[in-house]
Structure 1
Amino acid sequence: MEKIAIIDLGSNSARLVLVNILEGGYFVVFDELKESVRLGQDLDSDGFLKPQRVAQTIKTLTMFRRLCDANHIDKIYAYATAAVRRAKNQKSFLDEVAVTCGIKIKVLSVEEQAMLVYQGVINSMDVPRGLIMEMGGGSTNLIYYNRRNLINYESLPFGAVTLTDLFKNDSDKPEERNQKIEDFFKEQLEKIPWLKTIEPDTQLVGVGGSFRNLGRISRMIKKYPFNMTHGYEVPISEFEQIYKTMKCLDLDSTMKIKGLSSGRADIFPSALAAISSVVKHVEFNKIIISGCGLREGAMFRYAVPGIAEKPLSDVLGHSLHTLMTYFDINQTHAEHVYNLSIQLFKQLKVLHKLPRMYVRVLKIASLLHDSGMRIKYYHHQKHSAYIILNSNLYGVPHKDIILASFVAGGHRKVEFNREELIKYKDLLNVEDLDAIKKLSVILRIAESFDRSMSSVITGISCDVLGDSVIVKTETEGDCSLEIKDALTAAADFKDAYGKTLEIL
């Protein structure tokens, strides 16, 4: 298995990600490291990277190199963005890094950076039309795509660090300073003509540490029960309330905000002011936080070279097959169980009356129902539920991941931990609880129908006759084991559907 490292050297922080490249065009992160280097600090004063910042960066990159060597990394891909791109002493800095750390850094052009960010987002989110706002330390990139095609991009030479430096007049009160940043950023946005032409249903997708911190603060305020950054949505009304509170605070008070990284406290209000300008300029109704950006774009480009020409057609499918490959799941069996589950879902539609949106839940639960076997066979359904819940799946709402976790957890015996269900009471409704029970039974029967993992049962038809549901099987051999196993679900079927289960 090949191992690569991605280094993202920004104006505020340096990040290292270690990645396993799996067969079939998949990848999994197995370690990461982040250090605040503030390489872009005070760059605008004379255009030079400052010696203290350079020394800190080289110390950090040396540490990165040691971790790469310890993990026997095959290739290192290091990228530098705005600060190094604009620095007058760029060459001497790159030469010193190469000699001292043995790392060759590629300085990304504005276009290359925009493409990597776009590819990181578009291949990890199911948002057909979006404006990506990547807020870095030294620049802000605005990337507009429609129908998953990149349409326009613009890079503004101002990020959270540079905006903070530019407006650090000590005589200004925090609220006055943030208002000046907001007004200044608004002027920059007015110079981008295509911003006025984007489609009205375009979604704002936030990329970068400032957006991740915003999402974390929001989740803590709401006591959001699901710990996942990627795909988390912040309503604009909530964002405005957070910004209104924070723009008046001094640094000491800002550092006490729960969910905010202490290393970002001094620059976070500037980032919020810039975000506020964009929100008002384009009139969005929510912010979708992306946990993926430049680094993930680089990973996708390496593992799936074809995405340079065309984005993934099935974001969720690729994410699911990444986990299936990583957990060494019997994919033929998993795919067949999924196929049988869908057949049962359609055949029992007259009874369960569930909308089509639950098919996605069934897909996740079916394909990953055996993932827990990598931990232990006994009670593996519980391990599968845990794996799904913590999978960080791409291209799917948080609610569906939670539902799929419960469905997979019930595929051997339909029983649920009441305390766990109560934990998600603000995300799940009565219909969802009913769906969990009904889908769990479907998955249990579908898995039983491939008990020997030989695909002996190829098709299913269901007849509802009075108090009974008669399931007729199409087979390619002896399926007595499969039918006997499926009938053990008769009591749970009766409880969920109110009918007696018969299988022919």
Structure 2
Amino acid sequence: MICTADSKTKRIGLIDIGSNTIRLVVFEFSKRHGLKELQNIKTPARLYRYLNEDKEMSDEGISVLIDTLKSFGKVSDKFDVEELYPVATAAVRQSTNLDEIKSRVFEETGVSLTIVSESEEAFYGFYAVINTIEIEDGVTVDIGGGSTEVTYFEDKELKYSHSFPFGVVTLKEIFFKDKPHNDKEAINKTIEYVKEQFSSLRWLEKRYVPIIAIGGSARNIARIHQSKNEYPIAGVHGYEMDIDDLDDVFNTLVDTDESDLEDIDGLSKDRTDIIVQSNIVFKALYDEVGAKMFKFSRKGLREGVVMRILEKDFEMPFDRYKVFKNSLLELASDYNIDLDNANQRIMIAETMYYELRKQGYFEHSKSQKKFIRHAAFLYYLGAYIDADSSSQHTYYILSNSNINGINHKDRVKLALLASFKNKSLLKFYMDEIPWFSNDEQDRIQAFGGLLKFCHALDISNTSIVKGLYISNVDDDTIDLTIEYQGDAIAEMYQADRQKKHIEKITKKNLNLIFTKI
């Protein structure tokens, strides 16, 4: 049984004051719908440029910060933000005139700056990752403009963290000043420096775990790779690369003339001069960790801060051990899925799967059973948009949404199952995304057909079916007894129409025996 929670909401504005960019994100949270972004805007303030040799921020830099805060404050007011939190990281944190900055900001805007310490910055990124990605053990990395945070976690518990005093902007200033982005000497010196920094952490070497990358630089690397490979679905959250993929993006960047970098699909205009440095850091960390994969998280510092704030007002707003389950519940709320009907579909689908498995048509697999269960729960959620094209909407929504706790291939598989209508439409979807072997395609078609038939057994949405079982099997016929209460006229008609999907699986005629109890 899948159940939902209360609908109390809270709206929070968070201003992330980084060394490279200042960004406002307006969040709304409820336990029914989860954490949603209502607005996300940024400006490439490059505050680090306003620090002199003594790390003192100039009046001009402070004015840039204040003007941005005033502008973002007006946007927050438009969204009726209940609480506004401006949080500052490396550029402000490292300023020797920090007290002056905080004082002027408060005097001119009425807002109190929160300075995030190095350890807090690392923790918040880690916290967002473990609550949105289902990886038990891993390393997180968040490259900012003036610092780089790395953590190591086991069983979703933080073990070690460290903040390095370099970011993409500082690496550019140190090694690439007045040099092109692909200067070989600058690249080699940067690689040597970054490797030396990472090797100073004894707990980082050869962990052989996935790396989860956070932040704008990471998102740009992922988007470049997706564009190069004509990636067929949207979103970078949960996207996976390996060292060869990182090398491929790196080579693309260094082989491109500086004047042409803006033409690279996926690369933001304000990151063209710092993207090579971020790629160098990722490649060096991959080698140091002996990573199994490089995975991207769209959730980072900002989400981590907001999650901790929400824990003061909500009881267990997030559960790191039930990431995907909670994502399903949020989808159900977003698309108005009736939970009683969804649980009825799950019961029918699991029972039918079990009955067919006992007859040898499916092998025993917890993974397969989970997919059937989840797809039954979300089946035809696209009907919320348009009932006549519910399959198409279901497939598009699920395959292109950033769903926490599931990788991209499994997300598409879930979309194919939950949207199954017929073989030809399934083939149309799968032709767009050639990720599945012939065996996998056959299995998806079989499970999709099973779900289509089971959907017919609750077509009236009245939960009249109380049980079903295979009561007899002979050479060319299977008898399926369906126990029900109430009026089953709609289910009888639809089940008879859709039984062909079960007959394709069994290669036998399906005889439906409706029995009132």
Structure-2-length-normalised TM-score: 0.89
SS of match in other structure, 1:342: helix
Which one of 195, 198, 201 corresponds to residue 189 of structure 1? 198
Deviation at 1:375, TM superposition (A): 1.5
Letter in 1 for 2:394: S
Deviation at 1:155, TM superposition (A): 0.6
Aligned twin of 1:320: 328
- 1:69–1:335 distance in 2 versus 1, CA, 3 Å: same
- 1:239–1:70 distance in 2 versus 1, CA, 3 Å: same
Aligned twin of 1:365: 375
SS of match in other structure, 1:40: helix
- CA distance in 1 between counterparts of 2:69 and 2:505 reads 57
- Spell out, residue by residue over 1:263-309, the C-alpha distance to the aligned partner (whole angstroms, 9 max, x if none): 00111111122222212222224311111111222343345568989
Which one of 277, 281, 286 corresponds to residue 274 of structure 1? 281
Which one of 465, 468, 482 corresponds to residue 473 of structure 1? 482
- CA distance in 2 between counterparts of 1:380 and 1:308 reads 34
- Spell out, residue by residue over 1:59-114, the C-alpha distance to the aligned partner (whole angstroms, 9 max, x if none): 33222222211121222233211111111222332333334344333111222222
Deviation at 1:169, TM superposition (A): 4.0
Which one of 380, 386, 392 corresponds to residue 376 of structure 1? 386
SS of match in other structure, 1:459: strand
Say whether 1:210 aligns with 2:220.
no
Segment drifting more, 30-39 vs 261-270: 30-39
Matches within 5 A, 1:36-435: 36-41=44-49, 43=51, 45-170=53-178, 174-196=183-205, 199-200=207-208, 202-247=209-254, 251-303=258-310, 311-349=319-357, 350-353=360-363, 355-411=365-421, 415-416=424-425, 418-425=427-434, 427-435=435-443
Q: How many residues align?
A: 500
Aligned twin of 1:26: 34
Structure-1-length-normalised TM-score: 0.91
Deviation at 1:181, TM superposition (A): 1.1
- CA distance in 2 between counterparts of 1:2 and 1:165 reads 41
Deviation at 1:360, TM superposition (A): 4.0
- 1:99–1:497 distance in 2 versus 1, CA, 3 Å: farther
- 1:276–1:34 distance in 2 versus 1, CA, 3 Å: same
Aligned twin of 2:3: none
Contact 2:233 2:400 in 1 (8 A): no
Contact 2:311 2:317 in 1 (8 A): no
Aligned twin of 2:500: 491
- CA distance in 1 between counterparts of 2:52 and 2:466 reads 67
Aligned twin of 2:449: 441
- 1:245–1:440 distance in 2 versus 1, CA, 3 Å: closer
Letter in 2 for 1:251: E
Segment drifting more, 442-451 vs 329-338: 442-451
Gaps of 5+ in 2: 1-8
SS of match in other structure, 2:469: strand
Aligned twin of 2:463: 455
Letter in 2 for 1:6: L
- CA distance in 2 between counterparts of 1:180 and 1:188 reads 12
Deviation at 1:159, TM superposition (A): 0.6
Letter in 2 for 1:226: I
- 1:81–1:497 distance in 2 versus 1, CA, 3 Å: farther
- CA distance in 1 between counterparts of 2:278 and 2:426 reads 41
Deviation at 1:348, TM superposition (A): 2.0
Deviation at 1:256, TM superposition (A): 3.5
- CA distance in 2 between counterparts of 1:216 and 1:162 reads 23
- CA distance in 2 between counterparts of 1:387 and 1:326 reads 11
SS of match in other structure, 1:195: coil
Letter in 1 for 2:196: E
Contact 1:40 1:138 in 2 (8 A): yes
Contact 2:47 2:61 in 1 (8 A): yes
- Spell out, residue by residue over 1:102-147, the C-alpha distance to the aligned partner (whole angstroms, 9 max, x if none): 4333111222222211111011111111011111111111110011
Task: Give me the identity figure in percent.
Answer: 26
- Spell out, residue by residue over 1:444-502, the C-alpha distance to the aligned partner (whole angstroms, 9 max, x if none): 22223233434332333235433333323344555444343322202233335423222
Contact 2:470 2:479 in 1 (8 A): yes
Letter in 1 for 2:414: A
SS of match in other structure, 1:72: coil
- CA distance in 1 between counterparts of 2:179 and 2:20 reads 25
- CA distance in 2 between counterparts of 1:161 and 1:113 reads 17
Deviation at 1:183, TM superposition (A): 0.8
| RMSD after superposition | 2.6
SS of match in other structure, 1:194: coil
Segment drifting more, 306-315 vs 264-273: 306-315
Segment drifting more, 6-15 vs 262-271: 6-15
Deviation at 1:25, TM superposition (A): 7.4
Letter in 1 for 2:18: G
- 1:487–1:271 distance in 2 versus 1, CA, 3 Å: same
- CA distance in 2 between counterparts of 1:361 and 1:158 reads 43
